[in-house]
Amino acid sequence: MGFLADQRDAIATGHRTSVELVTEAIAAAEKLQPQLNAFTEIYADEALAAAKNTDEYPREHRPPLRGVPVAVKDLYDVSGHVTSACSAAYRNGPAAIDDAPAVWALRNAGAIVIGKTNMHELAFGATNTVSCYGPANNPWDPERIPGGSSGGSGAAVGARIVGLALGTDTGGSIRMPAAFCGATGLKTTWGLLPLAGVTPMAPSLDSVGPIATDASDAQVAFDVLKGGPPVAWTFNPPDGFRIGIARGPWFDVIDPEVAGAIEETSRWFASRGAHVADVPMPWVEAAHDAWLPVALAEFAREHRGLAGRLDDLDRSTQIILMAGVGLPAEDERRARETIVESRVAFLSTMRDHDILLMPATPFAAPRHDDETITVAGVDLPVHIGGPSRFTRPISVVPSAVLALPVGFSSGGLPIGAQLVGARNSEHTLLATGISYQRDTDWHTRVPPVHA
């Protein structure tokens, strides 16, 4: 049982009150803010009032997240608050009237929103070094990036300020922060959860999802976000599962310690009765390259009004926006054709596999001032796509993905893996993650900067 579930059960049994837990979360967020800068806003008075109201309900009233503190990426509308997307262009905009459906789902389940989390400006970035609120930092080493774009959510969960924070994922924006911060993140199938009330980056790629301390908490969050009737969960080991280990030159560009952790994870699958085999993915490089033109084109269309307000954007975001504005239509068309081909190839791959196992990132969290990381003789850029080498191509195919910690580097930094399933395979992935985390303790390790 995870951190979130522990808090929920402590409230349900009367051992703790919501006011106590929310007070502790707010105090931790404020105390760690100088080190992590994980939050853009903390709703202390509002959250404590909601917690007090929760505690006045009879204990028999037990929605799945009754009274537990959670956080929300500053991309989601929260009623009465501005959605800045961590850009000066939107920071002083009008307050949202309604909660985004995902935020409403959390509140309806009894959760208490304590604030909004930092993110990479307008969600187009893998580091969270670019934000009008300043960079967010990694709880394992504040000199390092937490990943992006949901970096504040990853840091807040990794540091145990909250057990759950909402993120979004367009090219890895849930999976990279989960990997770098030692948390568990779920990229849901595109279109499964509503994107209303979420500032878009690239609508044909954007997806809603949770970052949590472990897979069992991510399962609770997913059920809440999905709504509908409760799901009968079973958590049996993956006996008989067909596990494909991603192979090929694209996956050879990887830090040896990350590669070693992936191999060790494959051995766990084999020990639990799964059929493990290498699987070539020759389509992955083309899928990776096709992601960028589509993301640029859609980003420019969504934020075209900012082309006349470039001074409100970081220089790096200006370059991204203008690259999208100037992108030839033919480049976007060809990229979309490649994505269709990649989806066909992915579906063919998944006919023979239940889950694909691959790294979440090619290296552990870099320092903020690192320009490149050299792995396997290749200099991967930190700020323009290196961290998302293994997440971008999976963003363009019809998949659900669970990112979870599978080891640590010799420097004490988390290493993450991706469990990739077919469309609407969230239940399978989460059940597998729960089984894996019952046998391992990577997800239980607490960073030096923690609540």
Q: What positions carry a catalytic annotation?
A: 73, 149, 173
| Number of residues that this document lists for the chain | 451
Residue 415 pairs in a beta bridge with 407
Q: Determine the straight-line distance between the first and last CA of the chain, rounded to whole angstroms.
A: 19
Backbone angles phi, psi at 106, to 5 degrees: -65, -45
Radius of gyration of the chain (CA): 20
Q: Which of 162, 217, 146, 160 is nearest to 186 (CA)?
A: 217
Q: Which of 268, 255, 266, 267 is nearest to 410 (CA)?
A: 255
Tell me the longest C-alpha to C-alpha distance in the chain.
Answer: 62
